[in-house]
Amino acid sequence: YLRIRAMVILAIIAGMVLDPLIPVLVPIILPTLLAYNIDLIHFGVLMVVAVVIGQVTPPMAIALFISGRIAEVDQMDVLRANTPFLIGIVVFLLIAIAIPEVATWLPSVMRD
C-alpha cells in the first residue's frame, strides 16, 4: 500500500497544476500497477478522487476559481464553502486506501 499512497500523493500534487492528469499519468504508471498486481479498479477510484482533491485545493484550485467566476462569488467565499466537502473527500480517500473494498464495492455491485 506504500506504492499506492505515493502514487495518490503524486496525483494530488500534480492535479493541483495539471488539468488532464489522468491521461498523462496513467500510461506512465500502468506497468508498475500491473507488476505489483494492484487492483486497477481500486486504483482508478483512488486516482479520480485524488485528482478531484487536487483540482479544489489551493494554490491553483482551478475548479474553485472557475465555479467562483461563473457564480460571481468571491474566491475566499468559495474556498470556505468548499472546505467541509474537501475534508469529507480526504477522509473517504484515506479510508479507501486503507480498506480497498470501500472503493471497489459499488463497481462490483454494478458488474453483477
Q: What is the pLDDT of residue 18?
A: 82
Residue 63 has pLDDT above 90, yes or no: no
Residue 58 has pLDDT above 90, yes or no: no
Q: What is the pLDDT of residue 101?
A: 95
pLDDT, one tens digit per residue, over 34-46 is 999 999 999 999 9
Buried b (16+ CB within 10 A) or exposed e, 76-94: eebbeebeeebeebeeebe
- Would you kindly state where each structural domain of the chain is located, as residue ranges? 2-104
CA distance 51 to 13: 9
CA distance 74 to 54: 20
CA distance 77 to 97: 31
